[in-house]
A and B are shown apart, each in its own frame.
Chain A
Amino acid sequence: ELKVEQNPLFLSMQEGKNYTIYCNYSTTSDRLYWYRQDPGKSLESLFVLLSNGAVKQEGRLMASLDTKARLSTLHITAAVHDLSATYFCAVDEGNKLVFGAGTILRVKS
């Protein structure tokens, strides 16, 4: 059974600082997704990572995938308040996804 673990589950950051969210998963998969959820809203796709070594960047967020280590990271550079949200990673299990528990990110000014 595929299990997906995110850490930390809660992250309080100062504006301007860097930090990384980690996503570990238990069985082989080459496809991993990152989503963002704002309070009271639905999930919005951020990144789709489809192979070992894949790296995607959008603004202050960068995601990478290491399929050998079964690890993905979401790196935040110079955090700003607008990045406050919950971030989920999800791993492909055939034609459905298994989600991590989510990381609540709060950026303080």
Chain B
Amino acid sequence: DVKVTQSSRYLVKRTGEKVFLECVQDMDHENMFWYRQDPGLGLRLIYFSYDVKMKEKGDIPEGYSVSREKKERFSLILESASTNQTSMYLCASSSLGRGSYEQYFGPGTRLTVT
């Protein structure tokens, strides 16, 4: 079974803090993704990566950065957390296996910025 893990289920940070969210997958997938999910807004793609050290901006990259130093690990960084970054953050991974790019999701991190 594919397993995608995220470093924390719940996180509370103060405004202005630097926040690291980590995601690890164990299926040797090339592609990894960070989404945020807010009520009424669905899933919005923040960044994705299709290879080590490669990254692409998604729909809402402002205020975020990412790092992918190893294939299995994809980190999301909030350089200076703000209250409007309070959200559920979901990591996913995929690979072109069996003809599809089905994404497998981690359990999510609920981040609160106060």
Question: Which residues of A approach B to under 8 Å, CB–CB?
Answer: 31, 33, 35, 41-45, 48, 50, 88, 90, 92, 95-97, 99-102
Contacts and interface: CB of A to CB of B under 8 A. Distances in A.
A90 B43 CA distance: 10
Interface of B: 30-31, 33, 41-43, 45, 48, 50, 58, 90, 92, 94, 96, 99-108
Q: A interface, by DSSP: helix, strand, loop or mixed? A: strand
Contacts, number: 52
A97 B94 CA distance: 10
Nearest to A92: B101
A102 B38 CA distance: 12
Given A43-B90, A102-B42, A33 B108 contact: no
Given A48-B100, A96-B101, 16 more contacts: A31-B100, A31-B101, A42-B90, A42-B108, A43-B92, A45-B104, A88-B42, A88-B43, A90-B103, A95-B30, A95-B96, A95-B101, A97-B101, A97-B103, A99-B42, A101-B41
- Which of B42, B48, B96 gathers the greatest number of chain A CB atoms within 10 Å? B42
B99 A100 contact: no
A33 B106 CA distance: 17
A99 B105 CA distance: 13
A102 to B, nearest CB: 6
B102 A42 contact: no
14 contacts: A31-B100, A33-B102, A42-B105, A43-B92, A45-B102, A45-B104, A48-B102, A88-B42, A95-B50, A95-B96, A96-B31, A96-B45, A96-B48, A100-B42
